[in-house]
A = this chain, B = another copy of it.
């Protein structure tokens, strides 16, 4: 693989084939990942640069991926802000002291990434040294809204009742919270850039729970502030799920690449976004990796066809690869994208 294919696509420059990476490509579907995870608590993996670097590199040894993404969790900046964060086996992330009041918001600290999140920066340096410039490395962070939702709900949520209760009912507290998260997110991503990542992805994974009006009023200004405060010259991927009605607003917030989930048709979404304005990333249904190879191929062909004729498409799933995914399907997918897009 040419080392610059992914970065060229981010910049909407022509590439000899469509680059591909996979959200959560270092994850539980890999036996070698599970072997480490069984022995090591998740947060310890994140906080041990050697382990994080090793796990980051695992999928690159198996698949001809066009980018690596540093192994970390979107919630890591919340712990130094004051969140009592735990990853439980059954429930996933839990924050034992959720933020519900103005006083809770006031208590949240800003973060010094070089001190508080040094382990991520060290992992980035280790991975960059290992990769020797052969594959670009992506850094990432949760976006302010998605981070706020975890802080307020105390974990994953279905209806986001507490998040919206604060957003609707205590707009001043909401603004202070989102402003703090904006500062932290921008500083954290800039520190990752300084440590060597060559692109960053802003994960606003759960904005799909919001109406367009709520997103525009209570979220967009903060995402925009994060993006406009990042070190220039490094491509920014702006990603969310369930964003079919939010795409124009996400573009307004910014990003060189807009990440699409599988509920939108890539061709229609790119038309709405303006194909000469931004690149797009996506958008295979992660569950399609459980389908027979002929079905998978049909879906890949449809996505490549919708993106054909202009530069700026990065192939990816519409959300993270699922733990139940067969490794052979991922291998087939990566090769398929390269082969089919070279034609």
Contact = CB atoms under 8 A, between A and B. Distances in A.
Interface centre among A161, A168, A286, A324 (most CB of B within 10 A): A168
A165 B329 CA distance: 13
A134 B226 CA distance: 55
Query: How many chain copies?
Result: 2
A233 B51 CA distance: 66
Interface residues of A, number: 34
A294 to B, nearest CB: 10
B302 A213 contact: yes
A3 interface: no
A245 B244 CA distance: 7
Nearest to A269: B245
Nearest to A164: B287
A30 interface: no
Interface of A: 159-161, 164-165, 168-169, 208-214, 242, 244-245, 262-265, 268, 285-288, 290-292, 295, 299, 302, 322, 324
14 contacts: A159-B286, A161-B290, A164-B288, A165-B290, A168-B287, A168-B295, A169-B291, A169-B295, A211-B262, A211-B263, A211-B285, A212-B264, A213-B299, A214-B285
